[in-house]
Amino acid sequence: MELHALFKPVQGSGQLAAYRYTEVAPSPALRELVCCYWFSQAVAAGEYGASLDDPSVRDRVLPDGCSDIVFEQNGPCGGYSIRYCGLFDRSFSIAYDKRFVYDSFGIRFFPGGAHALLGVAISEFKNHHQPLELILPSLASELQSKLNGRAPVDELVGLLEHCLLDNLRAQDKRINGTVQNLLYRIFNARGLSSVAELAEFEVVGSRQMNRLFHQWIGASPKSFSEIARFQYTLGDMRSARYRTLGELAAANGYFDQAHMIRVFQRYYGDSPTVAAKELAAVSDLYNTKGNHRAILQT
């Protein structure tokens, strides 16, 4: 079951001139668990893009059902801080320090993938982040010891994949079969299946389904399905598949255009009109050819 082919979440990064945003697909060995590796790198150290001074241009973090291990440079002193960011069910803008342009990168786990590595209920980290050393000290220590200065993207991807595979080798790195089936149902219906329909399809009680989702995904099936529908709506918006917002709303199961606007205010942080304008400025971040070393840049 290739869930990656059914769900390709959209992020709102890559709009600032001072940074180059890149996403790299994982190798086949980690495709079930990892959505992508992402990189936000300063175009030139110490040179600030004009967009940093333009409050109308901003990168956003959008709810996508995923969670991340994020690496950020510790200011001009060098070194990296490493934290695990759980699933977010609201959007927020990224704040940049105009005094210091710094690199950051991360591992974005496919829904269900982080639990195989961390071994704890992902719902514990919903809407917040925590230093990785408090969750998985062995991995945090290994990563800190190997991160040395600014490295090329390919080198960082290789390092991250090696560390992930080493830490997963002694564990069951497959996502729970029932969770996989439920994700397939959600993605195949573009987030429009009800909780009752999901339970009926997979012959699983609603309580058990909720427990599985809180453990593996980080949110309830209902909340995750709403995020999935929002992501499919973003995908339709970026592809210009529908001519009007009303058509877009109807095609994605919203009661009306006002309903979709309320959803965008929560999940995007602004109106669908603003979202369409901003997303048009962001290049296609996904490598649809499947070559895990091909890099698409803004």
State the DSSP string of 31-42.
TTTEEEEEEEEE
Which residues, other chains included, contact 291 with Cβ-Cβ below 8 Å and sequence gap of 6+?
25
Q: Is the pLDDT of residue 227 over 80?
A: yes
219, two tokens: 């949110």
Q: With cut-offs at 50, 70 and 90, classify the pLDDT of residue 99.
A: low
| Amino acid (1-letter code) at residue 175 | I
What residue ranges define each of the domains in the chain, with the CATH number in brackets? Answer: 10-172+283-297 (no CATH), 177-280 (1.10.10.60)
Query: Which candidate, 105, 200, 196, 201, places its Cα nearest to that of 157?
Result: 105
With beta carbons less than 8 A apart as the criterion, state whether 41 and 172 touch: no
Whole-prediction pTM = 0.87
Looking at residue 172, its pLDDT comes to: 61
C-alpha span between 265 and 288 (Å, rounded): 29
Q: Is the pLDDT of residue 90 over 50?
A: yes
Looking at residue 217, its pLDDT comes to: 97
State residue 103 phi and psi, 5-degree precision.
Answer: -90, 150
Helix (H) or strand (E) holding 23: strand 19-24
In which residue are the tokens 């409050």 written? 55
CA dihedral over 101, 62, 10, 126, signed as positive or negative: positive
| Amino acid (1-letter code) at residue 202 | E
- Rounded alpha-carbon distances, angstroms, from residue 158 to 29, 108, 151, 194, 234: 13, 15, 11, 40, 31
What's the number of CA atoms in the CB half-sphere (13 Å) around residue 171?
Answer: 17
Looking at residue 100, its pLDDT comes to: 67
SS3 145: helix
Looking at residue 167, its pLDDT comes to: 86
**What is the chain's length?**
298
C-alpha span between 14 and 3 (Å, rounded): 25
Q: Which residue has the higher pLDDT, 75 or 211?
A: 211
Q: With cut-offs at 50, 70 and 90, classify the pLDDT of residue 77.
A: low
Q: With cut-offs at 50, 70 and 90, classify the pLDDT of residue 285.
A: very low
Q: Is the pLDDT of residue 24 over 50?
A: yes
240, two tokens: 């210009």
Q: With cut-offs at 50, 70 and 90, classify the pLDDT of residue 282.
A: low
* CA quadruple 261, 266, 272, 274: dihedral, nearest 10: 140
Query: Which candidate, 83, 68, 78, places its Cα nearest to that of 103?
Result: 78
